[in-house]
C-alpha cells in the first residue's frame, strides 16, 4: 500500500498528463487557418472563362494527386480542422471567419474525395444531387454538413447576409474565390471587397440593362432573398452601395425590374476552362 503522500503525488502526475494529452489533441484554430491559406495559395489560379463566364479557379486535378500522399498539405489541413473544437471559438470575428473557411474547405473536400467530377452536384457526390446534407467535415467530435454550417451556425449566429456570398459551393456562378482565407482581423474588408468584385462581374454577379430597365442579379440573391427583408428597400437597398457611384446613383433615380442569372453549377476547376 502506497503512503498517502505518494498517492497524492501520483494522482497529481496523472492529472498533469491528462491535461497535457487533452491540450495536445486540440489544434489552435489559427493552425487550420494557416494551412488552409497555404492550400488556397498553392492551387488557386487566376480567372479563366468557363461557359463564357469569367471566374477564378482551382487546379483540382493537381490537388487530388497531391492529396493522395499521407502527409500532403491537404491531409494536414484536414487533420488540423478536425482537432479544432467549437468551444475554442470565443471571439465573434474569429468564429465567423473560421466557420466560413470551414464551409469552403468542406466543399473542396467533397470535390477532392470524389474527383474527377464536373460539379459539386455530381452524382458521384450525391445520388440526389444535393451534397449540402452530406456530413462533409468533422470538427472536434461532431460531423457537419454544409447546410448545418451555413444555416444553423453562420446565419443563425451572425445574421449577416454577406455570408451567403462568402460560403462557396465551388461553382462557376459563385463569387470568385481568392488565394487567401477569411481572417478575423480583416473579415469585414474581405467580405466587402468580395461582394464588390462579384457585383462588377456582368457574367454572373450583376448586369444592368438601362434600355429595358432590367437589373440581372445572381441566383444566390434570389435563393436567400428573405435575408434582405430587414433593409427598407430589400435587395435594392443592399446592392447599390457595392456598385460604382454612377450606377448606384442611376439605380436610385430609376425603377427597375429584377431578374436573375441561371446558376452555372460547373466546378470552378482549371480543367473546365473553355478551349
10 pLDDT higher than 60: no
Residue 225 lies in a domain: yes
Residue 139 lies in a domain: yes
pLDDT score for 2: 52
Range of the domain at 52: 26-272
- 146-188 pLDDT, tens digit per residue, is 999 999 999 999 999 999 999 999 999 999 999 999 999 999 9
Residue 2 lies in a domain: no
Three cell numbers, residue 33? 487557418
pTM (2 d.p.): 0.90
24 pLDDT higher than 60: no
pLDDT band for 275, please (50, 70, 90 cuts): confident
In whole angstroms, what is the distance from residue 239 CA to residue 206 CA? Answer: 9
How many structural domains comprise the chain?
1
Residue 45 lies in a domain: yes
In whole angstroms, what is the distance from residue 235 CA to residue 222 CA? Answer: 9
Residue 152 lies in a domain: yes
Residue 21 lies in a domain: no
Burial of 275 (0-12, 13-18, 19+ CB in 10 A): exposed
15 pLDDT higher than 80: no
Residue 7 lies in a domain: no
56 pLDDT higher than 80: yes
pLDDT band for 8, please (50, 70, 90 cuts): low
1 pLDDT higher than 90: no
Amino acid at each position: 500500500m502506497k503512503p498517502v503522500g505518494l498517492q497524492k503525488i501520483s494522482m497529481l502526475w496523472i492529472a498533469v498528463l491528462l491535461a497535457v494529452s487533452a491540450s495536445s489533441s486540440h489544434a489552435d484554430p489559427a493552425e487550420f487557418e494557416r494551412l488552409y491559406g497555404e492550400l488556397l495559395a498553392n492551387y488557386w489560379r487566376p480567372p479563366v472563362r468557363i461557359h463564357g463566364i469569367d471566374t477564378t479557379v482551382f487546379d483540382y486535378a493537381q490537388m487530388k494527386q497531391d492529396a493522395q500522399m499521407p502527409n500532403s498539405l491537404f491531409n494536414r489541413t484536414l487533420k488540423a480542422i478536425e482537432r479544432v473544437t467549437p468551444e475554442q471559438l470565443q471571439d465573434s470575428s474569429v468564429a465567423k471567419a473560421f466557420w466560413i473557411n470551414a464551409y469552403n474547405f468542406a466543399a473542396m473536400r467533397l470535390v477532392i474525395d470524389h474527383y474527377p467530377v464536373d460539379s459539386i452536384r455530381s452524382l458521384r457526390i450525391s445520388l440526389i444531387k444535393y451534397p449540402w446534407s452530406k456530413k462533409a467535415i468533422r470538427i472536434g467530435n461532431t460531423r457537419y454538413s454544409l447546410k448545418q454550417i451555413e444555416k444553423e451556425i453562420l446565419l443563425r449566429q451572425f445574421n449577416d447576409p454577406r455570408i451567403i456570398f462568402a460560403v462557396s459551393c465551388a461553382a462557376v456562378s459563385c463569387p470568385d474565390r481568392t488565394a487567401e482565407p477569411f481572417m478575423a482581423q480583416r473579415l469585414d474588408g474581405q467580405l466587402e471587397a468580395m461582394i464588390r468584385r462579384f457585383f462588377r462581374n456582368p457574367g454572373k454577379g450583376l448586369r444592368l440593362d438601362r434600355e429595358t430597365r432590367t437589373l440581372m442579379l445572381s441566383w444566390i440573391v434570389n435563393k436567400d432573398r428573405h435575408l434582405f427583408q430587414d433593409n427598407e428597400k430589400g435587395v435594392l437597398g443592399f446592392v447599390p452601395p457595392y456598385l460604382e457611384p454612377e450606377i448606384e446613383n442611376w439605380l436610385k433615380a430609376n425603377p427597375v425590374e429584377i431578374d436573375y442569372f441561371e446558376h452555372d453549377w460547373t466546378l470552378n476547376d482549371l480543367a473546365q476552362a473553355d478551349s
